[in-house]
Structure 1
Amino acid sequence: MFFDMMPFDNLHDIPGAENAYLVGGCVRDRLIGLRPQDFDIAAPPPVRDFAEHIARRIGGHCVELGKPGRQVIRIVSGRPQVDVAPINGPSIESDLAKRDFTINALARRLSSGEIIDCTGGIRDLEQKIIRMVSDQSFIADPLRLLRTYRLAAILNFRIDTATSAAVARHADKIRNVAGERIRLELFKLLEVENACLRLEQMSRERLLFAVIPELEPLVGCLQNRHHAFDAWIHTLKVVEEMEAILNRPPRLLSAADSPALSACLKGGIPVLLKISALLHDIGKPATRKIIHTKGPVFYGHHETGAEMAEAVSARLRFSVHETRIVTQIIRHHLGPLRLWIQAEKGALSRKAVTRFFMRCETLTPLILLHALADHRGKRPRGTLPEDDFSRFILNLLTAYFTEYQERKNRRPLLTGHDLISEFDLKPGPDFKFILNRVEAARLSGEAVTRENGLEIVSELLKTCIGDRQPGIDTPSGRTKTGLPHKKRGGDRPG
Structure 2
Amino acid sequence: MDNAKEYAVSPVALELGELFAAHGYELALVGGPVRDLLLGRPAHDLDFCTSARPEEFEHLLKEWGNGFWDMGRKFGTLGALKRMPDGREYSVEVTTYRSDSYEPDSRKPDVNYGDSLEGDLSRRDFTVNAMAIRVPSLEFVDPFDGRRDLERGMLRTPVAPEQSFDDDPLRMMRAVRFVAQLNFRIALDTAEALADMAPRIEIVSAERVRDELCKLLLSDHPRQGLEALVDSGLADYVFPELPDLELEIDEHHRHKDVYEHTLQVLERAIALETDEEGPVPGPDLMLRLAAIMHDIGKPRTRKYEANGKVSFLHHDVVGAKMTKKRMRALHFDNHMVEDVSALVEMHLRFHGYVDERWSDAAVRRYVKDSGHLYHRLNRLTRADATTQNKAKEQMFARAMDDLEERVIELKKKEDFDSIRPDLNGDEIMSILSLKPGPLVGRAYRHMLDYRLDNGPAEHDVAVAELLRWYEDETRE
Q: What range is the shorter-chain TM-score in?
A: 0.7 to 0.9
Contact 1:223/1:231 (CA < 8 Å) preserved in 2?
no
Three-state SS of the structure 2 residue aligned to 1:310 is helix
In 1, are the aligned partners of 2:247 and 2:258 still within 8 Å (CA)? yes
1:111 matched residue in structure 2: 136
Match of residue 186 from structure 1: 213
**Corresponding position of 2:273:** 246
Query: 2:307 aligned with 1:293, yes or no?
Result: yes
* TM-score, length-scaled by structure 1: 0.80
Q: Is the 8 A contact 1:97 1:133 kept in 2?
A: yes
Q: Is structure 2 residue 36 aligned with structure 1 residue 29?
A: yes
Unaligned runs of 5+ residues in structure 2 are 1-5, 84-88, 99-113
1:364 maps onto 2:374 in alignment: yes
SS in 2 for 1:132: coil
Tell me, what secondary structure is at the counterpart of 1:82? strand
Residue 18 of structure 2: aligned partner:
12
Structure 1 position 55, deviation (Å): 4.0
Q: Secondary structure at the match of 1:306?
A: helix
CA distance in 1, matches of 2:455, 2:26: 78
Alpha-carbon spacing, 1:439–1:401, altered in 2? closer, same or farther (3 Å): farther
Listed as ranges, the gaps of 5+ residues in structure 1 are 250-258, 475-494
The Cα RMSD (Å) is 3.2
Tell me if structure 1 keeps the 8 A contact 2:320–2:342.
yes
Asked if 1:280 is matched to 2:294, the reply is yes
Contact 1:339 1:353 survives alignment (8 Å): no
| 230, 238, 244: which one aligns with 1:211 | 238
Please, which moves more after superposition, 301-310 or 352-361?
352-361
Q: 1:430 to 1:357 in 2, by over 3 A?
A: farther
The corresponding residue for 1:200 is 227
Given the alignment, which residue of 302, 305, 327 partners 1:313?
327
> What is residue 330 of structure 1 aligned with on the other side?
344
Checking the alignment, whether the CA contact within 8 Å between 1:171 and 1:206 is kept in structure 2 is yes
C-alpha contact 2:127 2:155 (8 A) present in aligned 1: yes
Structure 2 residue identity aligned to 1:174: I
| CA distance in structure 2 between the aligned counterparts of 1:201 and 1:114, rounded to whole angstroms | 35
Aligned residue runs from structure 1 range 333-352, under 5 A: 333-343=347-357, 348-352=358-362
For 1:409 and 1:224, how far apart are their aligned partners in 2?
A: 49
Quote the residue 2:101 is aligned against. none
Task: After TM superposition, list the pairs within 5 Å mapping 1:124-273 onto structure 2.
Answer: 124-134=149-159, 135=161, 136-222=163-249, 229-246=256-273, 262-263=278-279, 265-266=280-281, 270-273=284-287
The number of residues matched between the two structures is 444
1:414–1:450 contact (8 Å) kept in structure 2: no
Residues 473 and 222 of structure 1, relative CA distance in 2, 3 Å threshold: farther
Compute the TM-score of the two structures, normalised by the length of structure 2: 0.82
Query: Secondary structure at 2:268's aligned position in 1?
Result: helix
- Using the TM superposition, give the Cα deviation of residue 16 of structure 1 relative to its aligned residue in structure 2, in angstroms: 4.5
Do the aligned residues in 1 keep the contact of 2:25 with 2:50 (CA within 8 Å)?
no
1:256 matched residue in structure 2: none
Change in Cα spacing, 1:137 to 1:420, as seen in structure 2 (3 Å) is: closer
Which residue of structure 1 aligns with residue 455 of structure 2? Answer: 447
Give the match's secondary structure for 2:43.
Answer: coil
1:414 lines up with 2:423 in the alignment: yes
Structure 1 residues 248 and 298, CA gap change in structure 2 (3 angstroms):
farther
The CA deviation at 1:450 is 2.0
- Measure, in 2, the Cα distance between the counterparts of 1:40 and 1:236: 34
Between the aligned partners of 1:438 and 1:17, the Cα distance in structure 2 is: 76
Is 1:2 the counterpart of 2:31? The answer is: no
Classify 1:94/1:384 alpha carbon distance in 2 versus 1 (closer, same or farther; 3 Å).
farther
The answer on whether the counterparts of 1:333 and 1:371 sit within 8 Å (CA) in structure 2 is yes
Q: Which moved more, 1:216-225 or 1:198-207?
A: 216-225
Asked if the contact 1:12/1:18 (under 8 Å) is kept, the reply is no
Partners of 1:223 and 1:323 lie apart in 2 by 34
**Aligned counterparts of 1:138 and 1:24: Cα–Cα separation in 2:** 18
Local SS of the residue matching 2:474: coil
Letter in 2 for 1:9: L
Is the 2:274–2:281 Cα contact (8 Å) retained in structure 1? no
Instruction: Report the CA distance shift for 1:16/1:390 in structure 2 as closer, same or farther (over 3 A).
Output: same
Deviations 1:118-155 (A, max 9, x none): 00011222333322223122221121112122223223
Distance 1:183 1:177, change over 3 A: same
Change (3 A) 1:409 1:190: closer
* Distance (whole Å) between structure 1 residues aligned to residue 202 and residue 372 of structure 2: 35
CA contact (8 A) 1:18 1:111 kept: no
